[in-house]
Structure 1
């Protein structure tokens, strides 16, 4: 198992943020999400530095869908970043954490009327408009409220990056954005010029997630900058901001060939400058939206081992007290993870086992056929790189409460999301007497 951030091994025990996993289980129970706050902040600083936020006024907008408790909003704000939200719930979370609304990009392919109105009322900086319905809705609400709203148009640039089919978004056959080839974008721009309450200031594209190759991003830069020039020539609108989305891959297993934040940022900036010089346009403000690459490796999940089932000559199942309810990615995307026993970090990996979750589903398998140390009931199993899309996609399937989240740093731990109780699990349910 690769150690990330502040992970260290002392006396055969795994520590994160200089806090032992044994101490964390004793204090907070399991399953437990553990956030390495120092690594989160270091990643934020790397993006801000190498994307030249201060020098060139570029922007790094954290993709909140990866992981967005209010505490994370506070970190993002302190680290001089913008925030990308995709729902009313994420926007409300940012609002309650006192995140600056003018630094929010509001995404979403089917924003409801209530969500659009909330965004306008709160004063979000940019709506990333996905379709004609949303465009018309924003204009009507702004007109009623006598407000003006800045927007980006989201486009599908026709780039198919090598990633899982479920997380491809840049190809033509996508539910997201205005398509270039069929003239939708031109029609949208003509429409927005008729409106009095909307100002088109930018364009946005996102080609997918968990992408390791930089070349698709460079292709995206070429398309987007030429589009900036085309919009100026055809519609006399200067696009001042170009949002290139996120999607840079994070390490999960040895199979992942991860680029550094520096490599990614410098390649984007250098290519943008080169293309703008070549086609003779001013360099717009550049925006990127990293999510997974900031929090994935900063998160780990701790489980307690329960039943161990050895089917001789077939397989050994090691069951833990969590599973697909706290990490759906293996079941949904066939995502792969590493793991270890937190109290046996230096032991030889002599056993081949399959880590199973506790849900009543045959598909609730966290890790298949992994080599691991001698494993016993009540051992602490640690699965690293669960910081992105684990807590945010957690569910109550099988009526299982959601785990707690703790932040660790410099030998201290802090509860940032409490464990859901059985009483809280039933909070939304009505206890009614049958009347028939």
Structure 2
């Protein structure tokens, strides 16, 4: 879709400190601009046109921002780490054929946590040798698919190893393994997204590490080539990542001493992004430099040959490239208390506010720089009083038919969406140079009945 509205300026009120080299530090996509009438444009496409043409709610993904983030990770790793390195996209943030193809074309790898994500990766063109399979409760079928395709399996627990051992006689080659353990490192983030501390469902306890490594040394079906640890998500601190390097280097020394040809050290992801003006995450380069220097120093102190450094950005790779469009519907004014603006989506297309109390930044798509004269709460349409997307949002006067643009929604919105109240999931478009490509079709109400089965004995009930 080509827009006839020529962008004339960056959205300066929101991006005075725009960082073109680290999209995670920006509130809006890199291509955000205003047209000659002051309306919001992303990827050369007028957002209100996209809302009209594709309907709302609508996920909009800016290709330039996604590619820019991929390149920022790739270039920072090449600059700051003296050995080989690979950024692996944590596809749980937003899994689709289009995103997989884009990430693969930028030379990154991908991590999957289910058969669905794994099939999406493979069919989206990601080479199997650049895919890893995570998960704390993998099924036999998921493990078989990964092993048969030559995907590296991240062993999370003893059950993974037991299932793989049972599958081994039917496999044509040894299973490429990476071992995940909990490093016991705390960071200041939401309780639900801290995965590095000892009280976690993920990974082997560090006290079990020696026993697991000794056991794997006896398993002819397994080739242990990597170690993995992850300390959480939406992290702004750098010190925990320095601490992680020493813990992982100790584990690497132990694994190699027991004869394992471990060449990969996977430090996970976790770099935060800017959702609101008060957020101040590190840049991608700063994060990578911190991790790279810490890993290199820790290995040097222990006399270890440098491993290949792997990291797994998810949110920081796709969130800032996403915008969600809604149409405003009803309005409720409660004098002296609150004004509610209800939109045509909510917790089914963005469950993060009700789940994590997450905050976002939003503007009216066609009046993004107009004076904000009222404070409103943006509510979803679902039958839950807690279905609120934004509280106390400053906006110009808004009413039915206005298009609201919510920024930084590229991660964990589509991937965590649901059909609560039997509401269909939104469509998604990828925008670039004035063209919008549909990359996910909008579900229709009748699609939600596809897997329902009505027993014969109930069909006559009126």
**Length-normalised TM-score, structure 2:** 0.91
C-alpha contact 2:33 2:40 (8 A) present in aligned 1: yes
1: CA distance, partners of 2:210 / 2:299: 21
Query: Where in structure 2 are the equivalents of 1:165-314 lying within 5 Å?
Result: 165-180=191-206, 183-233=207-257, 235-314=258-337
Alpha-carbon distance in structure 2 between the residues aligned to 1:302 and 1:39: 18
Give the whole-Å Cα distance in 1 for the aligned partners of 2:254 and 2:53: 59
SS at match of 1:434: helix
CA–CA distance in structure 2, aligned partners of residues 257 and 97 of structure 1:
34
> Does the aligned pair in 1 maintain the 2:83–2:307 contact within 8 Å?
no
The residue that corresponds to 2:96 in the other structure is 69
Q: Does the 8 Å contact 1:205/1:244 carry over to 2?
A: yes
Q: Secondary structure at the match of 1:42?
A: helix
**d(CA) in 1 for partners of 2:260 and 2:367?**
62
Query: TM-score, normalised to structure 1's length?
Result: 0.97
Unaligned runs of 5+ in 1: none
Task: Find the aligned partners of 1:139 and 1:206 in 2 and give their Cα distance.
Answer: 25
Matched-pair contact (CA < 8 Å) for 2:378–2:390:
yes
Q: Which residue of 138, 143, 150 corresponds with 2:176?
A: 150
Supply the distance in 2 between the matched residues of 1:239 and 1:146 (Cα, whole angstroms).
21
Give the 3-state SS of the residue equivalent to 1:302 in structure 2: strand
2:401 is aligned to: 378
Alignment of 1:317-336 (within 5 A): 317-336=340-359
- Asked if 1:388 corresponds to 2:440, the answer is no
In structure 1, the partner of 2:110 is 83
Find the aligned partners of 1:46 and 1:412 in 2 and give their Cα distance: 24
Q: Which secondary structure state, in structure 1, belongs to the residue aligned with residue 254 of structure 2?
A: helix
- Secondary structure of 1:264's match? helix
RMSD: 1.4
Please give the alpha-carbon distance, in whole angstroms, between the structure 1 residues aligned to 2:51 and 2:256: 58
Provide the residue aligned with 2:23 in structure 1: none
Task: Give the alignment partner of residue 34 of structure 2, picking from 2, 5, 9.
Answer: 9
Q: CA deviation at 1:433?
A: 2.7
| Structure 2 unaligned residues grouped into runs of 5+ | 1-13, 15-26
1:56 Cα deviation after fit:
3.3
| 1:95 Cα deviation from its structure 2 partner | 2.0
Q: Offset of 1:238 from its aligned partner?
A: 4.1
Aligned to 1:58: 85
- Listed one character per residue, the Cα deviations across residues 328-368 of structure 1 (whole Å, up to 9, x for unaligned) are 00000000001110111121111111000000000100011
**Following the alignment from structure 1 to structure 2, what is the Cα–Cα distance between the partners of residues 74 and 430?**
35
Aligned equivalents of 2:250 and 2:87: distance in 1? 22
Q: Secondary structure at the match of 2:181?
A: strand
